[in-house]
Amino acid sequence: MLAGVALVGCGRIGFDPSSTGGADSRLPNDGAGGDATGGHRVAVTPIGGVGLGMRPYRIAAAANDRTYVLTMLFNTATVGGMTFTNTAHPDALVIALDGPAVAWTRQLVDDSSVGTLLAIGSLGLAVDDNGNVVACGEFQGTIDFGTGPVTSSGNTDGFVLGIQPSGTTRWLRTIGSAGEELVMGCATEPGAVVVTGAFQGTLMTGVANLTSAGGTDLYRIRYDLIGSPLSGTRHGGAGADVPRDLVVEGTDTIVTGTVQNATDLGAGPIVPAGFTDVFVARYSSAGSTVLVHHVGGAGLDRPNAVATAGERMIAVGEFEQTVDFRGPVATSAGGSDAFILSMGATDGDRWVAAVGSTGTDRATSVIVDLSGNIYAALEVSGTITLAGEMFTTSGQDILVVSYTPAGELRWFRTWNGSGLDTAARLTLRRDGSITLLANTTTTLDVDGTQVSGTFIITLTPGA
């Protein structure tokens, strides 16, 4: 196995006794008592929905400690004592929480809409230092976000919706052309909002017209804080180049995604090794390419999230077969394994941790604390080996794992139910607590609290 690789089993709490992660290198035993020696207290906040009727996508923490959640709504859900029902098509909810209490809930689509909200790419959520919220995604047909009806230009258009701290609409922008536009995420930077996605043909950004080089190219559009477009750039080649996530570091935007066929993302030619390869690219606010990393093997390799720690970039996702991560090499134990990849400026400055079973495993989210420690959320299934022991998950289980900046395992924690348990996104709060947005199709026991539908797990250090 590689240094830093952990194969983690279900229903377990553990730590690496050789880790140099300090007092926070372990989690407490099961129960509500916590660990006074530097562990975490576990708390759970139910959000609502039954099964996959409410599908969680994003979570964000504001500077005022308010938490925001973005979910897709497929039927009816009760949130904060209020019942929300989608129209004839899927809808979405933005939920603001002060601690466990719901401050407000915003249903994105007006009941009169005849179009449909989509998440072919993803739904995105970001919040600035003043508590202004940005939600983004895709729509088709004619739809009303509360600002009057808007109609997609082609098959699928993107939307970017600015929401005030009170929950009312601030501004709306659409991203559309005669082709298909996907929205994969949004983020805030000082004085601006950045949106990334994929497009075909010609895309009008309001500043510059972008033309794809092939199947799909990635775009980045920057808006000011009232929704006026500032810049638009594209990168890609003749194949399908699709971003999967983005994060802002200062005024740079870091984008991760997949490439098919030979392409150029601004730093020279890339030739994929397999069906889809992984890229991580850093772009300046002016649109110039700072650097691009590319890894992949013969199978389908895909990132799901990206984070930064200064100049380092951390991507997490899933891989098949054997992948050369430009230094470390990993081989999956089953259908697909999860990876956590930390990269410096050069190929030699990186490490990878692979988490795998005989089933299908993926890493869905990653965050980094102020000390550079890395936290990843995973979905695992099948038979997993840990420290010489073999465990079998109950279905698809949730795993949260932490590594030091150097790639040493600090601690891990799993929650397992009998159904499909999904880990959507992590976020880090100002007090150092880690919050995970998750869902279960049945009922899940989270340290003595029974939850169903969509919920938040909070791990508070030293409590």
> For the segment 194-243, what is each residue's pLDDT rounded down to a tens digit?
999 999 999 989 898 999 997 899 999 999 999 999 999 999 988 899 99
- Distance between CA atoms of 285 and 175, rounded to whole angstroms? 19
CA-based nearest residue to 68, from 161, 143, 190:
161
**pLDDT tens readout for residues 328-355:** 899 998 789 999 999 998 778 999 999 9
CA 329 – CA 344 distance, rounded (Å):
17
Contacts of 94 by beta carbon, 8 Å cutoff, 6+ apart: 68, 69, 70, 105, 106, 108, 125, 133, 135, 163, 167
pLDDT at 391: 67
pLDDT, tens digit, 9 for 90 and up, residues 290-331: 999 999 999 999 999 999 998 899 999 999 999 999 888 999
Q: Within a 10 A sphere around the Cβ of 389, how many other Cβ atoms?
A: 9
Burial class (CB in 10 A: 0-12, 13-18, 19+), 73: buried
The letter for the amino acid at 343 is M
pLDDT over 90 (residue 34): no
Q: Where are the beta strands (DSSP E) in 113-180?
A: 116-118, 124-127, 133-140, 142-144, 149-151, 157-163, 169-175
Could you tell me which of 256, 247, 339 has the C-alpha nearest to residue 60? Answer: 247
Model pLDDT, residue 33: 28
Cα–Cα distance list, 213 to 153, 155, 236, 259, 264 (Å): 20, 19, 6, 13, 10
By the 8 A CB rule, do 187 and 193 touch?
A: yes
Residue % of the chain over a pLDDT of 90: 61
* Alpha-helical regions (H) of 152-273: none
User: Residue 119: its pLDDT value, please?
Assistant: 72
Give the mean pLDDT of 129-145: 92
Strands 263-264 and 269-270, sheet pairing: antiparallel
d(CA 129, CA 364): 25
**Percent helix, percent strand, percent coil in the chain, to nearest 5:** 0, 60, 40
Partner residues linked to 326 by β-bridges: none
- Going from the C-alpha of 251 to that of each of 227, 254, 267, 378, the distances in angstroms are 18, 10, 19, 29
The 3-state DSSP class for residue 24 equals: helix
pLDDT band at 114 (very low <50, low <70, confident <90, very high): low
What is the DSSP code (8-state) at residue 308?
A: E
Q: Say if CB 57 and CB 122 are below 8 A apart.
A: yes
Distance between CA atoms of residues 399 and 438, nearest Å: 11
pLDDT of amino acid 384: 74
Please report, for residues 262, 321, 355, the alpha-carbon distance to residue 274 in angstroms, rounded to integers and kept in the order given. Answer: 11, 10, 21
Between 36 and 254, the higher pLDDT residue: 254
**In a 3-state reduction of DSSP, which class is residue 263?**
strand
> Which segment of 105-109, 177-181, 423-427 scores lowest on mean pLDDT?
177-181
- Please determine, for residue 24, whether its predicted confidence score (pLDDT) is greater than 70: no
**26 to each of 184, 355, 389, 427, how far by Cα in Å?**
34, 18, 19, 19
Q: Say how many CA atoms lie within 13 Å of 131 toward its Cβ.
A: 13
C-alpha span between 419 and 53 (Å, rounded): 14
Question: Residue 396: which of 422, 363, 365, 364 has the closest Cα?
Answer: 422
Q: Inform me whether the pLDDT recorded for 91 exceeds 80.
A: yes
17's CB contacts (< 8 A; 6+ apart) are: none
| Cα end-to-end span (Å), the chain | 34
Question: Of 21-30, 344-353, 410-419, which gets the smallest average pLDDT?
Answer: 21-30
